[in-house]
């Protein structure tokens, strides 16, 4: 499977990040010390093992400052790399390469960090049918990219925003007057291509959901025993997601209960950056 | 000391993040299940100990969707909070509060995470004169906020972009033909209110820097012995920054060499989110 | 049921439309002939029967040019109005009211036109279980508003964009190698909160869809006989949408086949504006 | 005569429309089912007779998603096409073509609809000296394009906004204290390159306009008899526009009174889309 | 007569200028040295005689950083002020006032400079019927404001852009094949509310213009003798503008030839700033 | 030394300026009179002596409207040109060249005007060690370009905004409680790469600054005698800037006191445009 990023989102994001870094006066160090005509050949290499994500953003960063830059990806997004492995080779204006370096690495390192952490979670539960999935706990203005990185790391995507699916939570249930009125209100409101998921805390609530019907149910903070019982109750009538408390340590037990999905906020809110370096030779 | 964030940056960022989350159709769940007139009283509370940063962004998120919202911060940015401690109390339209919740918490959690990690580093070296400082390894489009969070956590800020200070690195030195020509090129290029820092790998290079003069020197990846010798050579002639390899484990040894600053990319590139929750009562 | 529009979308759209109309020099006629201090009391009234939609946009147009304007809606979006019936009463600066009039009416008239046409279709088939629904054949940059108007008129919304649901069409099927591989590719690609609909031209294709499973099926350009047979085959296993050829004349026969939804591009691509007028008294 | 559209307006509009359709996750259907390397050869063909307008916008939509796309227009904007006639041929990445299709057709269909309706009106009155012209009753954010489409259909353009010409209406006259003070205020206010038109309801008012002088007069909702008398009074002293009540049925009688222009809001506010289809062959 | 500026243009421009000045880190000096709660009372006073223009922009600059600021204009735009005269009094947050000061004064000083220079030209020719007018030689992104300042100084506005009037210059005439074909092409192209002016270098060309007709003629770089003859030829058949070579020294002779307008690029391209100062008392 | 402008800033600025000039309807004169296929060869030439600045902006203006335009600069930014000397040669679509001409010349003329005035000041004091430098009294939204022009003219740049350096002025000192507390507050607030300058009015204040230390001192409105004494007091302990009252007449006496820098607001706030013309031959 290939992974895709809208070129419009990539361009807007990279341009904004370059503007953030270049400010009003531009890269004063490079302008002072590097001749306008100098060229550079560069490699981006992994300094630790991980999964790469974000190459289109890195490519765009260099291309904005040198439209004729050569950018050769040696691996594709989603590839696992070993320490020292070359990720991409760039050739172009030395000024452009040096000025774009940080923006390129900031995107690539962050997204590869998300992909790498996702891959770690995914590996733990690969013997089960469960998949790890992301949440809306993403970095502001980075959601499309972070969710792409989750796919690169072998995870699944939850909804992209408040508008592309219904997720009825405890507060909605409380105001709506219960599980059944909340589900009915949602069904009356949305079109036929919008899915409806509902959060439950107890097996009693789950019973109500099964009576009324929904596309998916989120089992919130249940212990493995209850999860297992919930899975049995649900059968194949709806998708079943476990949420809350999943860490690299606990996820195996959760996955083995038979749930379909395990959502993990940490994939996007607490991933470390993947250590990538740019080694430059000025030509 | 108080900390400041440009209201223009806050507004632009929060508006963009809300647009990202609300998409074209808005918060369909809330619209379906929460009556337009319902009110909500909410608290944001810490679920673990840490340092708070980002309250102006959280406030703005709620205010965009309900201009009459009441937002009372119970602590200020930079305050240390205990698990369970209330950070802010919000009262307003239930729809607005529920729809803005995730954007508010995404900013507040991330920035508090940066502040908390910074505070951890700062605490380790509080017996020395060294301060921990940030880098340009920030999240794209979040730099001003992440650097603010570093200040809230007791750290210092390095430059904000490529344009507000010169930082001559190894590649610049190589092309410019050495430390001395690079420093001279920089001095000739920039105005009198732009500082110049230069990276050195060896004590020999440091000697050249001391001969030519600069505002600051970055001692890159030197071991404590060499750092100590460098500190002696420098005296009080320029600011002296250690860079590379600083972790919570190694930073004490680095700080005790007498350097002024220790830059730590992890403050912004590898901070976990601080766990904060919003507890809601619909009125 | 109430209907909602994101205030962020409303503000951005109305501001852009005002900028389009005011240009560089502003409303030169009004500036030349109306004193800065004059006030105006105005009503917007329907000049023909229809369903109103777009009041938040009209309100915003006046409020941008006079933040203290009074705007009283006498009916709510979704209301049916008779010829001559007052829709809203506005009181404020005469200059602001005259300068914003056209933008306010352009939005209100267009969206009321969409709502009114939708209501016409909906009325024809109200004795059946079928609902009329919109398409992506919307005016560029007006989609969220036009889909809102469809809801105001009693219609249902299809997907909002290419990203919030899968709709596999004939070309996708052709390249993917058939109905079944296309459905499998889609299921493998999207998350659990993204629905999948597939277009079929024949009952044979429908059989394949029923074998493989999907959330909805679009029966493209089928005659009532085939639609009826398709409805029987489908039972309640998936949502069933008829598409193609629905006009005010033909829609009854389509609806009586038992389909759930009938999509009608004309709702948004060929609605006439609803005739609304602004009657002004300068105070 | 050739027709022109500012490339800046085209780019901004098409990019915004693509962003509206692609959302955060892009065209998930196409990404799931169409291989990244597949090519497509496509024709856009008319499914009914009409006048084409908007080809530069359609071209731009495809080019944004595939910079190397080949787009060959087989007719020019302003051309009359027969049912089945090919309008353009496109060759490029299958993913790009499928993802851009709807935006391209939404622009092309809408603008061709405006051009076609304009051509219908123009044809009715081609035996007179009158021309049909548009109004400011345009779709928000589409004005430049819709007015371009009116030109493609053989119509004339009225002013583009509130700032490029003066149009004194009844309310302005009422506040300014009559036709003569209103005209004098306008002449004192604007520069020598801004034209002044004034609306009159009666022949008495027209007399005052002729006394004071103006560039054009709008005869509002007058019956043919009065229009004829007005035309006689005016002679060739100013341009004379009839406004109000012009339909395909009534326009001949209005045109035969000898007026120069007949403005018709319906050209832009009530045109149906022209039915155009895209037929694809994946290569 | 009052003068007007679109509030939308004012807001966008002032916000962009504040962003330009505040950068990423904001006003670091003020944040470091002025307590968050301190108030300030300030006056803006003229340090030399001149005509004021731009108060709405100055007001907006302060209001962006302190929504509760009090801004009292003591004179109106267009007023003549003496050295030392107070222009406005501002009271609000000391931080906001100090941070917005430069943006407010940059707009106010520049626009007052344009108004003052215009007033100087206007005074020289007040005994004639001629008016001084501006050109498109304006500062990029400041045109609407600079043209407003010209009106404040007693001058007239030429067209605002390439699109709101036709101005046929020598190159257009050359390509079109002469004065008459150029005028005919223009008349065929534009609507009835677009004026047409044409530049002529000789009295022969003027003869052709008078034959074919136009709304205005620009007499380019003619000496007073020729201007006088041209004025006689034209009579009151069209507006007559002299262009080229007008300085404070030469303008009287030009005006006394009887032309209607004298365009002076220097009004906007070579005005000095009016010296205005902000005197502050921190409360 | 070469001078640099961020390509991102150039593109955004030129695009906005073209949009300002082209409005909604585009260059109606050119569209009416110049055939779509006509080519043009053009030179931009100096009509008076001066220093050129802004060629990248001029190039961008033409390239936006004709991506295939040929733009050959015959001199570089910073070059001195004689009257009549050719600055650049442009070849491309006649429509594009004529439509972009004014935007290109508006940028080029203004920035060359700034560079030329700077060069005049610089020449006066070339026998001293002093350099002339700019201020923040720049045209809103033109700061980066005007400061670039100052460099092209041989001047130095002061800070670019409120955030890239500290400049403590009299009001800051007053509120902070004196020179020493103000300096200490600033040092505590900013990072190690932010310079601190402080304004003093008296030699007593200067003494305090020398005691506490700073990077630079601004000697405000001091007479040459006091400046000389100040220079002696300062020695080489900090950079020393004279501000206030510098004109082409007075600057020699100021420079000969031995100060390092003389800031002159007039460089950017009162430069006349450099007279440049575009001579066209349609091919």
- The stretch F21-29 carries a mean pLDDT of 95
Q: Give the pLDDT score at F206.
A: 98
Of E2, E7, E160, the CB nearest to C24: E160
pLDDT tens digits for D36-74?
Answer: 989 999 999 999 999 999 999 999 999 999 999 999 999
Of E158, E188, E189, the CB nearest to D193: E158
Note the residue count of chain A: 283
| Residue in C201, C220, C256, C275 annotated catalytic | C220
Q: Give the pLDDT score at F3.
A: 60
Helix (H) or strand (E) holding B3: none
Q: Give the pLDDT score at C2.
A: 57
Find the angle CA(E150)-CA(E151)-CA(E156) to the nearest 5 degrees.
Answer: 85
Shortest distance between the Cα of C139 and any Cα of chain A, in A, equals 20
Q: Confirm or reject contact between F164 and chain A (CB < 8 A).
A: yes
| Cβ contact, residue pair D8, F23, below 8 Å | no
Q: Give the pLDDT score at C282.
A: 65
Does residue C95 have an active-site annotation?
A: no
Return d(Cα F107, Cα E271) in angstroms, integer. 16
Return d(Cα B3, Cα E150) in angstroms, integer. 43
Mean pLDDT of chain F: 96
| Cβ contact, residue pair F24, D144, below 8 Å | yes
Which residues on A lie below 8 Å from E24 (Cβ)? 20, 23
SS3 state at F235: coil
| Residue in A15, A89, A136, A137 annotated catalytic | A137
Shortest distance between the Cα of C47 and any Cα of chain B, in A, equals 30
Res. B2 pLDDT band, cuts 50 70 90? low
Q: Give the pLDDT score at E4.
A: 80
> Does residue E1 carry a pLDDT above 60?
no
Q: Between the CA of residue B186 and those of A187, A255, B195, what are the distances in Å? A: 65, 58, 10
Does residue C110 have an active-site annotation?
A: no
pLDDT tens digits for F216-265?
Answer: 999 999 999 999 999 999 999 999 999 998 999 999 999 999 999 999 99
Q: Give the pLDDT score at D4.
A: 80
Q: Confirm or reject contact between A23 and chain E (CB < 8 A).
A: yes
| Residue in D11, D21, D212, D220 annotated catalytic | D220
Range of weakest confidence among B212-216, C34-38, C61-65: C34-38
* Interface test mutation site (partner D, options E154, E191, E198, max chain D beta carbons within 10 A): E191
Res. D6 pLDDT band, cuts 50 70 90? confident
Q: Confirm or reject contact between A104 and chain B (CB < 8 A).
A: no
| Cβ contact, residue pair E20, A20, below 8 Å | no
Reported pTM: 0.96
Return d(Cα B130, Cα F121) in angstroms, integer. 45
| Percent with pLDDT over 90 in chain C | 95
Q: Give the pLDDT score at D264.
A: 98
pLDDT tens digits for B147-156?
Answer: 999 999 999 9
F80 token code pair: 């001195």
> Does residue E14 carry a pLDDT above 60?
yes
Of D8, D161, D164, the CB nearest to F19: D8
Of D18, D25, D31, the CB nearest to A8: D18
pLDDT tens digits for A129-141?
Answer: 999 999 999 999 9
Which residues on B lie below 8 Å from D20 (Cβ)? 24
> Does residue E2 carry a pLDDT above 60?
no
Shortest distance between the Cα of F47 and any Cα of chain E, in A, equals 13
Return d(Cα F7, Cα F12) in angstroms, integer. 9
| Percent with pLDDT over 70 in chain F | 98
- The stretch B45-69 carries a mean pLDDT of 97
* Buried b / exposed e along C7-38 (16+ C-beta atoms within 10 A): bbbbbebbbbbbbbbbbbbbbbbbbbbbeeee
Range of weakest confidence among B98-102, C59-63, E4-8: E4-8
pLDDT tens digits for A40-84?
Answer: 999 999 999 999 999 999 999 999 999 999 999 999 999 999 999
* Interface test mutation site (partner D, options F13, F14, F25, F67, max chain D beta carbons within 10 A): F25
Number of H helices, E strands in chain F: 11, 12
Return d(Cα E217, Cα E166) in angstroms, integer. 11
Sheet holding F166-168, edge to edge: F131-133, F261-263, F239-243, F216-220, F196-200, F166-168
| Cβ contact, residue pair B25, C157, below 8 Å | yes
Per-residue 3-state assignment (H helix, E strand, C coil) for chain A: CCCCCCHHHHHHHHHHHHHHHHCCCCCHHHHHHCCCCCEEEEEEEECCCEECCCHHHHHHHHHHHCCCCEEEECCCCCCEECCCCEEEEEEEEHHHHHHHHHHHHHHHHHHHHHHHHHHHHHHHCCCCCCEEECCCCCCCCCHHHHHHHHHHCCCECCCCCCCCCEEECHHHHHHHCCHHHHHHHHHHHCCCCECEEEEECCHHHHHHHHHHCCCEEEEECCCHHHHHHHHHHHCCCCEEEEECCCCCCCHHHHHCCCCCEEECCHHHHCCCCCCEEEEEEEC
Return d(Cα C274, Cα E65) in angstroms, integer. 42
Reference F181, options F203, F204, F212; nearest CA is: F212
Give chains near E: 3+ CB pairs under 8 A.
Answer: A, B, C, D, F
Helix (H) or strand (E) holding D122: helix D94-124
Mean pLDDT of chain D: 96
Q: Give the pLDDT score at C4.
A: 79
Residues 220-249 of D with CB under 8 A from C: none
Return d(Cα F120, Cα F249) in angstroms, integer. 11
| Cβ contact, residue pair F22, D2, below 8 Å | no
- The stretch D126-148 carries a mean pLDDT of 98
3-state helix, strand and coil shares in percent for chain F, rounded to the nearest 5: 45, 20, 35
Does residue B131 have an active-site annotation?
A: no
| Residue in B15, B41, B136, B137 annotated catalytic | B137
Shortest distance between the Cα of A183 and any Cα of chain B, in A, equals 8
| Cβ contact, residue pair A6, D15, below 8 Å | no
In angstroms, the first-to-last Cα distance of chain B is: 38
Shortest distance between the Cα of A268 and any Cα of chain D, in A, equals 16
Nearest CA in chain D to C188: D32
Q: Give the pLDDT score at C3.
A: 61
| Percent with pLDDT over 90 in chain F | 95
Q: Confirm or reject contact between B67 and chain E (CB < 8 A).
A: no
Sheet holding F276-282, edge to edge: F70-73, F86-93, F39-46, F276-282
Q: Give the pLDDT score at E282.
A: 64
> Does residue F283 carry a pLDDT above 80?
no
pLDDT tens digits for B55-64?
Answer: 999 999 999 9
pLDDT tens digits for E32-51?
Answer: 999 998 999 999 999 999 99
| Cβ contact, residue pair C23, F20, below 8 Å | no
- The stretch A85-99 carries a mean pLDDT of 97
Reference D168, options D134, D218, D235, D226; nearest CA is: D218
- The stretch B26-54 carries a mean pLDDT of 96
pLDDT tens digits for E187-216?
Answer: 999 999 999 999 999 999 999 999 999 999
pLDDT tens digits for E110-155?
Answer: 999 999 999 999 999 999 999 999 999 999 999 999 999 999 999 9
> Does residue C120 carry a pLDDT above 90?
yes
- The stretch E234-244 carries a mean pLDDT of 96
pLDDT tens digits for C74-84?
Answer: 999 999 999 99
Q: Give the pLDDT score at B280.
A: 83
Nearest CA in chain E to D196: E193
pLDDT tens digits for A234-282?
Answer: 999 999 999 998 999 999 999 999 999 999 999 999 999 999 999 987 6
Shortest distance between the Cα of B172 and any Cα of chain A, in A, equals 6
| Cβ contact, residue pair D23, B24, below 8 Å | yes
- The stretch F87-114 carries a mean pLDDT of 97
Shortest distance between the Cα of D18 and any Cα of chain B, in A, equals 13
Sheet holding A70-73, edge to edge: A70-73, A86-93, A39-46, A276-282
Domains and CATH numbers, chain E: 7-119+271-282 (3.90.1170.20), 123-269 (3.20.20.70)
| Cβ contact, residue pair A4, D22, below 8 Å | no
Pairing, β F261-263 against β F131-133: parallel
Q: Give the pLDDT score at F184.
A: 97
Reference C282, options C72, C28, C41; nearest CA is: C41
Q: Give the pLDDT score at F2.
A: 57
pLDDT tens digits for C93-114?
Answer: 999 999 999 999 999 999 999 9
Res. C90 pLDDT band, cuts 50 70 90? very high
- The stretch D116-122 carries a mean pLDDT of 98
**The residue to which tokens 């944040």 are assigned:** E31
| Cβ contact, residue pair C7, B65, below 8 Å | yes
Which residues on D lie below 8 Å from F64 (Cβ)? 7-8
| Percent with pLDDT over 90 in chain B | 95
Interface confidence (ipTM) of the complex: 0.96
CB E45 within 8 A of CB E85: yes
Q: Give the pLDDT score at F6.
A: 87
Nearest CA in chain E to D165: E193
Q: Give the pLDDT score at D5.
A: 87
| Cβ contact, residue pair A191, C216, below 8 Å | no
Of C25, C64, C65, the CB nearest to E160: C25
3-state helix, strand and coil shares in percent for chain B, rounded to the nearest 5: 45, 20, 35
| Cβ contact, residue pair E167, D193, below 8 Å | yes
Alpha helices in chain F (DSSP H): 7-22, 28-33, 55-65, 94-124, 143-152, 170-176, 179-189, 203-212, 224-234, 251-255, 266-269
> Does residue D151 carry a pLDDT above 70?
yes
| Residue in A85, A201, A220, A256 annotated catalytic | A220
Q: Give the pLDDT score at D2.
A: 56
Return d(Cα D5, Cα A231) in angstroms, integer. 60
Q: Confirm or reject contact between F25 and chain C (CB < 8 A).
A: no
- The stretch D13-33 carries a mean pLDDT of 96
């Amino acid at each position: 499977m290939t992974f895709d990023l809208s070129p419009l989102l990539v361009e807007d994001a990279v341009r904004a990040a370059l503007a953030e870094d270049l400010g009003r006066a531009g890269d004063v160090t490079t302008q002072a010390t590097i001749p306008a005509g100098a060229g550079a050949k560069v490699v981006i290499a992994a300094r630790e093992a991980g999964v790469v994500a974000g190459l289109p953003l890195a490519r765009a960063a260099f291309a904005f400052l040198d439209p004729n830059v050569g950018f050769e990806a040696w691996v594709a997004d989603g590839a696992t790399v070993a320490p020292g492995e070359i990720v991409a080779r760039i050739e172009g204006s030395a000024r452009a390469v040096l000025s774009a370096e940080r923006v390129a690495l900031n995107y690539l390192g962050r997204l590869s960090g998300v992909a790498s952490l996702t891959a770690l979670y995914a590996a733990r539960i690969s013997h089960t049918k469960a998949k790890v999935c992301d949440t809306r706990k993403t970095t502001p203005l980075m959601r499309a990219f972070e969710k792409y990185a989750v796919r690169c790391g072998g995870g699944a995507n939850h909804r992209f925003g408040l508008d592309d699916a219904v997720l009825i939570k405890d507060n909605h249930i409380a105001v709506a007057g219960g599980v059944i009125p909340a589900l009915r209100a949602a069904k009356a409101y949305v079109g036929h291509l919008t899915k409806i998921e509902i959060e439950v805390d107890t097996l009693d609530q789950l019973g109500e959901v099964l009576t009324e019907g929904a596309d998916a149910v989120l089992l919130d903070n249940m212990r493995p025993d209850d999860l297992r019982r919930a899975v049995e109750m649900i059968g194949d009538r709806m998708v079943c997601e476990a949420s809350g408390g999943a860490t690299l340590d606990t996820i195996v037990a959760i996955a083995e209960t038979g749930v379909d999905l395990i959502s993990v906020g940490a994939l996007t809110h607490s991933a470390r950056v993947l250590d990538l370096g740019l080694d430059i030779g000025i030509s």
